[in-house]
Structure 1
Amino acid sequence: MSAFQLHRLLVKSWQKICSPLHIKYVHLLIDNDQDEILTSLYMQNVLKEANIESKLCILYDNLYWKDSKIIDNDGNEVQLVWKTWMWETIFSDYLQAEQDGSLNKKINGEHPRLCQIVLNDQIKVIEPLWKVIPSNKAILPVLWSMFPNHPHLLQSEWTLTDDLKKNGYVKKPIVGRCGHNVTLFDVRGDSVLDETQGKFLDRNVIYQKLFTLPKYEGYYAIMGSWIVHGLFAGFGIREDKKLITDAESPVAACCIVWK
């Protein structure tokens, strides 16, 4: 699928989502991150083409409580949110709000918390909550215990076993992104092949069998795909000379050619 086809599918999908709900305004809720800002600016163009108005909310300083509803600084009620915030960040904010007693505070003119926006019965969120389960690496040891030696799975454990040490293994946080806080150990388990730093050092970790990516012309390649409204919508390839792919890894141009 070409980039143009992907774009058209995004436009049509937004129309299918918003039309039955009679919603003509979408709030894009993102962190103050350059990649997220650029992505959301593109999504705003998609929404504009779908004849849907939108407002970009970097953090949530331009959102306020009004009569138990959340509005933006232009007076538009927040009804539908597209977000780039990780669900785990939202859950952490929820737990913090429970602890400090602010979870149920809805004072006119004050800013809502992140969890009060996204975990709100009056607001729909474009990203299903069930994605928390498959996106968390804690599911990998569970899958391995259910389907040991499955050809599409790598051995994954909560504890470092002798078997993993003998064959080489990867230590990675159950929650993370962009290859942060990943360590690769060689087949003896006593030498680090590669490792990355990041902000997920305090998370629980799993240990997974090492599988080195194929190398082509000096680069390791990894493929990612897009699902839009339940349909396959395209793929992309990141490649790098490093063993661990991260957000700085180059994106390779690619296409499928039929003879």
Structure 2
Amino acid sequence: MMTDEKQEIVPFNKVQGIASTNVPAYSNEYDDFISFEGSYLHGIYTGFKWQCVEFARRWLLLRKSCTFKNIGSAADIWQELTYVERITDGEKFPLKTYSNGSLHKPNCDTFLIYPRSEDMSHGHIAIICEVQENFIRVAEENYHFHYWLNNYARQIPMIYRNGLYYIEDYYNVYGWMEIENNHQLKPLDESNINLVLQKYQQSKPIGELKRCFILNKTFDHDYSSVDINNGKEKFLIQSNNKNVFYYQANEDFVVNISNTSNELYRLFMQTVDYIIHNDKFLTFFEIPHQIWFRIRRSWTDEHDFDIIDHMNFKFDGKHFKLYQYKSNQALTIFQSTIAQEKWAQDMNLNYDFTSSFQLHHLFVRQWKRLNIQTTLHILMDNDNPKDLEIILYMKTIMTEAGINSKLCLLSNDLYWKDSIIVDKDGEIIKIVWKLWNWKTIFQDLRDQYRDNKGGEEGWKSMNNERPCISDILLNEQIRIIEPLLKSIINHKAFFSVLYRMFSNHSDILQNECFSSEDSKHISFMNSSMEEQNNDGIEEYFDSHHISQEILSDKNSKNSDEIIVSWMIYSLCSGFSICEHQNHTTNANNAKTYCCII
């Protein structure tokens, strides 16, 4: 699980190499990242993408037509896994263990098992794919992340001393596990999957979320929430200073939200691509015509500056339903990454992992990925002092990522100098992070600038001394985090287009245009549009109302919860729970809970 920094790192989800003629190994990119997205081969669950156990199970399936039961972690395999099962007839084949320092020389096609250690908290499993006199070769996932030069991941020394065989790796090794009667096992016949017993072909898990209580419990600090890992269950704790309530989710729930989020995010990107290249939709999305070329360039060039996205879901017990919900993303991510760890400490909980670690760590990593070498200016608005805590947290993230940043109050600290925007120290503004939404910025553009047919170069600010918001955030010379392309995803009409493009998708709630008198829907937006005679998706905006279907209580066991899924660099990296008191999606009625992973 060590990263080899001297070689090119393979991005997540990309193939590193091929083992045993037909078993691809995929990169997890970082050894401390857990995607919680399930991997399936011919309907058979192999594990989380792309963990070492996933590779071992998929290798076993393709090369031996076998699988093995769910296991807590790779290290647990040594003591808890006693057999593998052939998926064509259910026959069990025992596993025999040989401790490192054994009379028995390891053979090909055996498992190499590592215990837990400081650097490998879950241990590790690899496949021994070649055995020579003084070394073995292994295939694996989630150890190194470079491209393989051959049909194996790495070579490990093996010595014969005092009549015993030792595998001398960087980390301690439990030993190796061989399948008895291995000669009876054949590669999977992928041309005739009907031979696979149905019990091994699983549908994607549904999962379960429960709201639980602890009575008469109070705490010294009023942090938002915490999650812990207690055995195989995940918990989320929240205090109202009288009682404690928490959410209990099983592993299937975590897999389900990750699978759904990653799948829908890909549909999000297809929808953005459609909208951003369609003049009619840019008009409807209230994007000023003068910056159409800018937003299209942002879509092409600025994906890396898209730090974090989120999706909101309702859970009806079977599906996650994509849901429009007004929430403060910056505030919620702040609570999700900070508060839960403090809760766990205050409660003296014995936990192994919290998603606050995952989210915070990945947040820092994404900023590092940008490789920003100049000063980054954090824009502040003196009209919103409540955002200061969030801004200071973001500055901490940047510092951990090795980025030099400055806080700048918009009304006091920025100036024009020879048509260039500088801060109060005279430093040129080149990269900016902001909390303002793009709708506010576009309105500022309309308010602050005179209409000029000569294009963006002809614009002239009405304030000759200090730049306004749009001067900064729509400036050709300044890079913005989050980028201009986010104005599409964050627009309320986005879900309407998404629904029309993927109306048959079971996880996308109906978003239609019709009278708000229909009691099954709630109006989000009024928009007067000219009638269209064309067929297709653009007819969708003929009506005055854009509305969203809401789930009734009888269809939703968890009618009060909004699940907020966090996407960092296009991957689900954690989620939060918000609870509201009624179906009116108003952030003022919400209590924010933190991530469960």
TM-score band by shorter chain is: 0.7 to 0.9
The offset of 1:11, in angstroms, is 2.1
* CA deviation map 1:194-246 (0-9, x unaligned): xxxxxxxxxx8512222247455xx7110112223333332111113233341
SS at 2:466 equivalent: coil
Asked whether the equivalents of residues 65 and 107 of structure 1 are also in contact (C-alpha less than 8 Å), the reply is no
The offset of 1:149, in angstroms, is 4.4
1:13 aligns with 2:377: no
Asked whether the equivalents of residues 60 and 114 of structure 1 are also in contact (C-alpha less than 8 Å), the reply is no
CA distance in 2, matches of 1:106, 1:71: 18
1:79 aligns with 2:430: yes
* CA deviation map 1:90-139 (0-9, x unaligned): 1111122333789424987x110111100111100011222222221213
Q: Residue 240 and residue 144 in structure 1: after superposition, are their counterparts in 2 closer, same or farther (change >3 A)?
A: closer
1:92 aligns with 2:443: yes
Asked whether the equivalents of residues 511 and 547 of structure 2 are also in contact (C-alpha less than 8 Å), the reply is yes
Q: Residue 60 and residue 27 in structure 1: after superposition, are their counterparts in 2 closer, same or farther (change >3 A)?
A: farther
CA distance in 1, matches of 2:589, 2:409: 22
Name the Cα RMSD after superposition: 3.0
Structural mapping, 1:245-256, within 5 Å: 245-247=586-588, 249-256=590-597
CA distance in 1, matches of 2:395, 2:526: 31
Structural mapping, 1:198-237, within 5 Å: 205-212=545-552, 214=556, 216=558, 220-237=560-577
2:580 equivalent among 211, 222, 240: 240
CA distance in 2, matches of 1:42, 1:142: 35
Structural mapping, 1:150-229, within 5 Å: 150-160=505-515, 165=518, 168-173=520-525, 205-212=545-552, 214=556, 216=558, 220-229=560-569
Q: Which amino acid aligns with 1:222?
A: I
1:139 aligns with 2:490: no
CA distance in 1, matches of 2:508, 2:596: 27
Q: Residue 205 and residue 42 in structure 1: after superposition, are their counterparts in 2 closer, same or farther (change >3 A)?
A: farther
* Percent sequence identity over aligned pairs: 37
CA distance in 1, matches of 2:499, 2:368: 40
CA distance in 1, matches of 2:400, 2:560: 37
Q: Residue 50 and residue 142 in structure 1: after superposition, are their counterparts in 2 closer, same or farther (change >3 A)?
A: closer
Q: Which amino acid aligns with 1:2?
A: S
1:2 aligns with 2:355: yes
Asked whether the equivalents of residues 414 and 421 of structure 2 are also in contact (C-alpha less than 8 Å), the reply is yes
Asked whether the equivalents of residues 575 and 596 of structure 2 are also in contact (C-alpha less than 8 Å), the reply is no
Partner of 1:27: 377
SS at 1:250 equivalent: strand
The offset of 1:50, in angstroms, is 2.4
CA distance in 2, matches of 1:174, 1:134: 18
The offset of 1:171, in angstroms, is 1.0
CA distance in 1, matches of 2:564, 2:435: 17
Q: Which amino acid aligns with 1:168?
A: K
CA distance in 1, matches of 2:462, 2:427: 17
Q: Residue 45 and residue 205 in structure 1: after superposition, are their counterparts in 2 closer, same or farther (change >3 A)?
A: farther
1:121 aligns with 2:476: yes
Partner of 2:418: 67
CA distance in 1, matches of 2:484, 2:526: 17
Structure with greater Cα Rg: 2
CA distance in 1, matches of 2:399, 2:566: 21
Q: Which amino acid aligns with 2:495?
A: L
CA distance in 2, matches of 1:232, 1:35: 28
SS at 1:14 equivalent: helix
Asked whether the equivalents of residues 430 and 478 of structure 2 are also in contact (C-alpha less than 8 Å), the reply is yes
Aligned residues: 219
Asked whether the equivalents of residues 364 and 397 of structure 2 are also in contact (C-alpha less than 8 Å), the reply is yes
CA distance in 1, matches of 2:426, 2:396: 22
Q: Which amino acid aligns with 1:144?
A: Y
CA distance in 2, matches of 1:6, 1:208: 30
The offset of 1:253, in angstroms, is 4.4
Partner of 1:191: none
CA distance in 2, matches of 1:4, 1:241: 30
SS at 1:18 equivalent: coil
